[in-house]
Structure formats: structure tokens, C-alpha cells
Amino acid sequence: MTPTAQITCSRCGRQATPMAAPPLTGTRGQTVQQHVCPECWQAWVDQSTLLINHYGIQVADPAQRQQLYAVMAEFLHLPSL
């Protein structure tokens, strides 16, 4: 993604400069980079930390990680990732 490109954030609807690099690996990270502004991504990071701590989510467990990705997609208003 070029530095001058703008995205429309799927969560807040604002035009924004995309993140410099995908925040996750693979196509999931590219989707987030192309559709989520840095501020909304930070809001998700903060929210996911609360969820992980509150529910004791083990992100090393693939099934629990997939559940967290589903919540992330809902939080960021993205299609299922």
C-alpha cells in the first residue's frame, strides 16, 4: 500500500492513512491494514487485552485464537476473517 493512499475505516467510517505495515500475518493482516485506521486498531488492541485477561483466553490455542479473531472481525466491522 502506498503511503499516500487513503482508506475508509470499516469501524469509524473516517478517511485515514493506513497502517505502515499489516498488524497481523497473512491475508488477515492485509485485510485489517486495508480496512481499519490506526486509531481503531489501537482500540481493538486495548479491547482484546481486556478480553484475554477477563476470560483467560489462551491465544496459543488455535480454537480460542479463532474465537478471538471472530470477535475482532465483529468489533472492527469486517467480514469474518
Residue 5 DSSP SS3: coil
Residue 46 DSSP SS3: helix
Q: Cα(68)–Cα(57) distance, rounded to whole angstroms? A: 8
CATH of the domain at 18: 1.10.3880.10
Residue 39 domain-assigned?
yes
The number of domains in the chain is 1
What pLDDT is recorded for position 80? 73
- Residue 24 makes CB contacts below 8 A (sequence gap 6+) with 32
pLDDT in tens, the chain (81 residues): 555 689 999 999 999 999 999 999 999 999 999 999 999 999 999 999 999 999 999 999 999 999 999 999 999 999 877
Tens-digit pLDDT profile for residues 55-69: 999 999 999 999 999
Q: Which domain holds residue 58?
A: 7-75
Are 17 and 6 in contact by the 8 Å Cβ rule? The answer is yes
What pLDDT is recorded for position 79? 84
Residue 80 domain-assigned?
no
Residue 26 domain-assigned?
yes
Q: Cα(53)–Cα(59) distance, rounded to whole angstroms? A: 11
